[in-house]
Structure 1
């Protein structure tokens, strides 16, 4: 990790990385793809969320797949760009890639273009994990798939997989990423607070079930 003096000297570059991550993360692929497909505004469909799960409620699986890929890609690209910048500037890769990841995640959750009302971060989180350390990204996806197959709740699958992510990072000796992992997981749980309430009350929509109220 950089010393205090090094960190102060690197602050402008770190802020650039954070801002770049935010701008990439704030690209609303769900909104753009839904409109491009002639399906209207995704915020008027289902839960009103701009993520892949709600995009699937449009009835167009290709829009949902495109949203998933786009939201994951923007997180991964932000991290990879930060890694390249770190190698070319001599900056600390852990700091720069972590800040880019945080920026992309915040951009997705709170995009300035949409009045700071964005998605819930799961797809972007997957992209970030794959770029930072792909085995943990695969473990997240496997955990999501197993819970989804058993419980048929997308939100529950994401919450369980997210909760286990810091454990996976520690287990695979990626201790330098555990702090970032914990922070992003906390943000995921905050973004899913309504889903958590519905899960507890038994009113959460299952995978494949259309949600009528926006």
Structure 2
């Protein structure tokens, strides 16, 4: 067991934030599409122009799309799991709060920010859902699976992909915050500023993903969001390499 104050350990959190952001900045869709096109163009000039799993699936087949999905999820898993393991037995000296959850939330926020706002793409990246799922897979794996399956069922029944994305991520954030609160209360830990900053970072992750979907949200409100027949689309996609 190790205790740490923010004054003598702040640089650890800076390193976590920076490294997580840089990992999030890696856009595998752009990299792989450039390789496939011999550097002449990338996925941003193909189809919808979105450097994500769906557009890659349409352009290069389901195998490539699934690979992109996995890699984007890992951008959330790797930094969060690393932070969680490093801070497993590190406690805040003021009130005995385990800093594991704080480090995990910071790593997750950094990874999602990197995916949505990558510096090397002039801060114009993807929508962050896959990376956000990766973050909460580390924080609350069981609940992410439950909400993920619910989202898939919802998408197949309604053909509303954007709403399904919110179902997979937003409830996971709520559960994460609630579980963290219960952990503190059950261990008689004072809810100080570190607790609230941790909760705020989790909340901010969801705010960023909603902001990235702002066009879809406006369309949903206006009733102009076009449904996508996902089953038919999947059938039409070739499992090409």
Calculate the TM-score normalised by the size of structure 2: 0.76
Cα contact 1:33–1:66 (8 A) shared by 2: no
Partner of 2:126: 119
CA positional deviation for 1:178: 5.2
CA separation of 1:27 and 1:34: change in aligned 2, threshold 3 A? same
CA positional deviation for 1:35: 2.2
Partner of 2:36: 37
Aligned to 1:57, the other structure's residue is in SS state helix
Partner of 2:148: 141
Could you tell me how far apart the structure 1 residues matched to 2:105 and 2:175 are? 17
Calculate the TM-score normalised by the size of structure 1: 0.84
Q: Which moved more, 1:91-100 or 1:36-45?
A: 36-45
Which aligned pairs between 1:1-214 and structure 2 lie closer than 5 A?
6-38=5-37, 40-87=41-88, 92-169=99-176, 173-175=179-181, 179-199=200-220, 200-204=222-226, 206=228, 207=230, 208=233
CA positional deviation for 1:59: 4.5
Q: Which residues of structure 2 form unaligned runs of 5+?
A: 93-98, 182-194, 237-241
Aligned to 1:126, the other structure's residue is in SS state helix
Could you tell me how far apart the structure 1 residues matched to 2:176 and 2:13 are? 24
Q: Which residues of structure 1 form unaligned runs of 5+?
A: none
Cα RMSD (Å): 2.8
Could you tell me how far apart the structure 1 residues matched to 2:123 and 2:21 are? 12
Aligned to 1:119, the other structure's residue is in SS state coil
Partner of 2:95: none
CA positional deviation for 1:33: 1.9
Tell me the matched-pair count: 207
CA separation of 1:179 and 1:139: change in aligned 2, threshold 3 A? farther
Cα contact 1:165–1:181 (8 A) shared by 2: no
Give per-residue Cα distances to partners, 1:51-82, cap 9 Å, x unaligned: 21222221411121111000000110011111
Q: Which moved more, 1:71-80 or 1:46-55?
A: 46-55
The structure with the larger Rg is 2
CA separation of 1:170 and 1:111: change in aligned 2, threshold 3 A? closer
Cα contact 2:140–2:172 (8 A) shared by 1: no
Could you tell me how far apart the structure 2 residues matched to 1:170 and 1:21 are? 21
